[in-house]
Amino acid sequence: MSRFHSPISIPNVLTIIRILLTPIFIILMLHHRYTHALLVFAVAGLSDGLDGFIARYLNQRTALGAILDPVADKLLLVSAYIVLVVMDVIPDWVAVIVIARDVIISLGIAIFTITEKEYEVRPSIVSKCTTAAQILLVMASLFDPTGTKMTLLDLLLQWTTAVVTTISGLHYIYVGMGILQESNDRL
């Protein structure tokens, strides 16, 4: 897999747009403009899928993109969960689980970097399911931010998001411990 060498590529521009959409999303939420916030969130989500597609199929993967893309994703989702909790749209325990997983992943990457352990970031199936559940919960919450239509589906989405996020976090811990143990075994 060769990498595209210019940092200015279509996928990187889309990722930067996603980063810039995050404060707009937050401002819209804080002003109770949920429909507009949902639209911005959806556009950000589409840009995420599009930048990945373009990077892979037009061979425009860059080192900068490998760093920026997950940062943009985490920034948008963590911001969404914080704002949804602050505005009392979703339960705080769901946001704590979502954010704790991201903190654990970030700490793992920091440990690998500090200890100079080699690793490759490849999202697993459970990680992709986690991201999908987290996005669906945000979007469903934006459709009914006041909870007036709270249904079994909302509760199911909250619990599904919490469970798959927990499983994903445990999976990343397991994989990370394996990488650390493997490098210690070689010493």
pTM: 0.85
Map tokens 């425009």 to a residue.
Answer: 60
184 pLDDT more than 70: no
DSSP class of residue 163 equals: H
**CA–CA gap between residue 130 and residue 118 (Å, rounded):** 25
1 pLDDT more than 50: no
Instruction: Indicate the domain borders of the chain.
Output: 1-87, 89-187
Instruction: Tell me the pLDDT tens digit for each residue of 84-124.
Output: 999 999 999 999 999 999 999 889 888 888 888 877 767 78
- pLDDT of amino acid 147: 67
Burial class for 19, CB neighbours closer than 10 Å (0-12, 13-18, 19+): middle
Instruction: Tell me the pLDDT tens digit for each residue of 14-73.
Output: 899 999 999 999 999 999 999 999 999 999 988 888 888 888 888 877 777 777 888 898
- pLDDT of amino acid 158: 95
Quote the Cα angle for 167-51-179, to 5°.
40
